[in-house]
Amino acid sequence: MKDPYSGLYEVTEIHNLRDVIKKRLHEFPENPVFLVKEKKGGEYIPISTEKYDHDIDSLGTYFMNTVKKGARIAIFSETRYEWYVSYLATTNGTGCVVPLDKELPVDDVFNMLTRAEVDIVLFSKSKLDIINQVYGKVDTVKYWISMDPTTDDRFLYFHDCLKQGSDKLAAGDKIFTEATIDPEEMTILLFTSGTTAKSKAVMLCQKNICKNLMSMFSMLYIDRSDVWLSVLPLHHTYECTCGFLGQVYRGTTVAICEGLRYIAQNIQEVKPTCILMVPVMLELFYKKIMKGVKADPQKAKKLEKGIKIANALHLSNKMRRKLFKQIHDVFGGRMRLIILGGAPVNPEILTFFQNIGFKCVQGYGLTECAPILALNRDKQFKNHAAGLPLPGCDVKILNPDSDGIGEFISKGDNNFLGYYNDPENTALALDKDGYYHTGDLGYIDEDGFCIITGRKKNVIIAKNGKNVFPEEIEFLLSQSPYVAESVVSGVNDEVKDDIVVTATIFPDIDEIKAKLGIETDPTEEQIMNILKDVVSATNEKLESYKKIKNTVLRMTEFEKNTSKKIKRY
Number of Cβ within a 10 Å radius of residue 245: 24
Spatial separation of the C-alpha atoms in residues 278 and 258, rounded to whole Å: 17
Question: What is the per-residue pLDDT for 538?
Answer: 97
Question: What is the per-residue pLDDT for 260?
Answer: 87
Spatial separation of the C-alpha atoms in residues 28 and 183, rounded to whole Å: 24
More confident residue, 492 or 237: 237
Q: Give the angle subtended at the CA of 105 by the CAs of 99 and 108, to the nearest 5°.
A: 60
pLDDT tens-digit readout, 210-256: 999 999 999 999 999 999 999 999 999 999 999 999 999 999 999 99
Give the count of alpha carbons within 13 A of 444, CB side only: 16
Q: What residue ranges define each of the domains in the chain, with the CATH number in brackets?
A: 27-47+208-412+435-456 (3.40.50.12780), 48-181 (3.40.50.980), 459-553 (3.30.300.30)
Question: What is the per-residue pLDDT for 196?
Answer: 39
In three-state secondary structure terms, 1 is: coil
pLDDT tens-digit readout, 137-175: 999 999 999 999 999 999 999 999 999 999 999 999 999
More confident residue, 450 or 457: 450
Four-point Cα dihedral 154, 158, 159, 161, nearest 10:
80
pLDDT above 60 for 464 = yes
- Confidence band (pLDDT; 50, 70, 90) for 521? very high
pLDDT above 70 for 194 = no
pLDDT tens-digit readout, 95-136: 999 999 999 999 999 999 999 999 999 999 999 999 999 999
- Mean pLDDT computed over every residue of the chain: 94
Question: What is the per-residue pLDDT for 461?
Answer: 85
Question: What is the per-residue pLDDT for 569?
Answer: 67
pLDDT tens-digit readout, 352-396: 999 999 999 999 999 999 999 999 999 999 999 999 999 999 999
Torsion sign (Cα): 461, 466, 467, 472: negative
pLDDT tens-digit readout, 527-551: 999 999 999 999 999 999 999 999 9
Four-point Cα dihedral 337, 342, 347, 348, nearest 10:
-80
Distances (CA, A) of 285 to 202, 274, 281: 33, 15, 7
DSSP label at residue 419:
E
Peptide bond into 400 cis (omega under 30): no
pLDDT above 70 for 554 = yes
Average pLDDT over residues 264-270: 96
pLDDT above 70 for 316 = yes
Question: What is the per-residue pLDDT for 294?
Answer: 82
Q: Which residues have C-beta within 8 Å of that of residue 390, sequence separation ≥ 6?
A: 212, 215, 216, 219, 372, 373, 374, 375, 412, 414
In three-state secondary structure terms, 164 is: helix
DSSP label at residue 566:
B
Spatial separation of the C-alpha atoms in residues 279 and 342, rounded to whole Å: 8
Instruction: Give the DSSP H/E element, type plus range, for residue 327.
Output: helix 325-330
